[in-house]
Amino acid sequence: MEVAMLEFEEICERIERIKLEVKKRIEGYDALIDLSLVAMVASGHLLYTGVPGLAKSLLAKTVAEVSGCTFSRIQLKIDMTPSDIIGTEIWRPDIKNFEMRHGPIFANFVVADEINRTPPKTQSAFLEAMQEKTVSFTFSRTIDLPRPFIVIATRNPIDHDGVFPLPEAQLDRFMFELMFPYPSEDDEIKVAKQVTEDSVGVQKISSPEELISIAEFVNKGIYVNDRIYRYIVKLIRCTRNSENNLIELGASPRTTKMCVRAAKGHALVIRRSDSVIPEDVDAVALPLLKPRLMMNFQWQGGESDWQTLVGDIISKARGEHVENAY
């Protein structure tokens, strides 16, 4: 695949056009769209949490469509097996060899719908794919997944029957957990009008090759100074030494690396900048930490509780001189 090389201004312009095009179809979720694009340019996976009917799958499909990428939706069920997701090798007597049958995971954007409805054995099919961007089969055969490769999983928080909790190892592979609230009254009126009007069409703005170029720029072209690195490390380490005793298990070093990538993505997508400041780190802290922190039995778990908890962690990590880090 030949990667298209883009200049900084071209990248900013392309991201802005993608953002505006997605917002033509998705009403009322501007902040979630922005964070989804932050994860996209930082090559991060997403976990969408919300009740049914809030356009979680539609948002994922729209981002893929506007980006010019392939899209696959997997409706996960209790009787699915890993081979239903990654595919399998079939013996062909006529050619005396195995033939590879790719599963739906072979796409740029993969929506794992209701991921908590499938048992852990099947959930584990995503682990290698999300971390290594590869799929392993029998006979030591490993196949690379398409680039870019982003998993967007959805889950319904109100169901308790027939669901399986996601293991910590899998939650740690998502960059963000984004909570989908109900839309405002005005936004819901706009949604209601879409029933009688023609379906909102969107244009293809980018391509997989351009997204790879953007991701490489985020990785190598966004500047992070040593004070910001120290702040990020201090922020993550504060989750392991919580003074309120609500956090049973803090964030891992993988979170530290992911926080750097997320802050870089935020600087590019939201501020159109090529350097990270502490506010970029603070802006991604809540969706980044939420799926990773294991809370004890005293935790209430409301959205305002999470905002207060992460705000306290940020305040503790800030220190006296971090404000001058940039």
β-strand 294-295 against 174-179: which pairing, if any?
Answer: unpaired
Indicate whether 53 and 177 sit together in one domain.
Answer: yes
Indicate whether 301 and 249 sit together in one domain.
Answer: yes
**Domain boundaries, position 157:** 45-181
State the total domains in the chain.
2
pLDDT tens-place string over residues 202-238: 899 999 999 999 999 999 999 999 999 999 999 999 9
Indicate whether 167 and 237 sit together in one domain.
Answer: no
Q: Tell whether 22 is covered by a domain.
A: no
Indicate whether 242 and 314 sit together in one domain.
Answer: yes
Indicate whether 162 and 50 sit together in one domain.
Answer: yes
Q: Tell whether 199 is covered by a domain.
A: no
Q: Tell whether 13 is covered by a domain.
A: no
pLDDT tens-place string over residues 280-317: 999 999 999 999 988 888 787 777 888 888 999 999 89
Give the CATH number of the domain where residue 58 resides. Answer: 3.40.50.300
Domain boundary among 132, 152, 181: 181
279 in Cβ contact with 201 (< 8 Å): no
pLDDT tens-place string over residues 146-156: 999 999 999 88
| pLDDT number for residue 4 | 55
Q: Tell whether 2 is covered by a domain.
A: no
Give the CATH number of the domain where residue 278 resides. Answer: 1.10.8.80
Indicate whether 70 and 143 sit together in one domain.
Answer: yes
Indicate whether 133 and 252 sit together in one domain.
Answer: no
Q: Tell whether 25 is covered by a domain.
A: no
Return the residue matching tokens 């997997």: 74
pTM (2 d.p.): 0.90
Indicate whether 166 and 59 sit together in one domain.
Answer: yes
Q: Tell whether 239 is covered by a domain.
A: yes
Please state the three-class secondary structure of 199-255 as a single string: CCCCCCCCCHHHHHHHHHHHHHHCECCHHHHHHHHHHHHHCCCCCCCCEEECCCHHH
pLDDT tens-place string over residues 157-206: 876 667 888 888 889 999 999 999 999 999 888 888 876 544 678 899 99
| Res 258 pLDDT > 80 | yes
Return the residue matching tokens 């794992």: 112
What distances in angstroms separate CA 25 from CA 20, 30, 66, one per listed residue? 9, 11, 11
Domain boundary among 149, 181, 213: 181
Q: Tell whether 277 is covered by a domain.
A: yes
Indicate whether 177 and 238 sit together in one domain.
Answer: no
User: Can you read off the two tokens belonging to residue 313?
Assistant: 């962690």
Q: Tell whether 78 is covered by a domain.
A: yes
